[in-house]
Amino acid sequence: MKRQILFRGLAKDGRWYYGDLLWNEMGCRIVYTVNIPPSWQEPGGDTKSIYQEVNSETVGQFTGLKDKND
């Protein structure tokens, strides 16, 4: 059984984002996917990758464990 390795990082809006880590000359980003619900134009729906810029000093590997503050 494979375990997916996730990272988390704090964005400027004060929210934590969880996903894959992308770090390059443009900065540090967390990449995650969202489901786009089906509509009359696109039956079946789709997914979209979102690239959220985060503070590199707050990036860490997400273990899945949560503290008392969730």
| pTM for the whole structure | 0.70
Question: What is residue 35's predicted lDDT score, i.e. its pLDDT?
Answer: 80
Question: What is residue 57's predicted lDDT score, i.e. its pLDDT?
Answer: 93
Strands ordered across the beta sheet of 46-53: 46-53, 27-36, 16-24, 6-10, 60-62
* Mean pLDDT, 10 residues at a time, the chain of 70 residues: 81 93 90 78 74 93 77
> CA-CA-CA-CA torsion for 28, 11, 70, 5, nearest 10 degrees?
-20
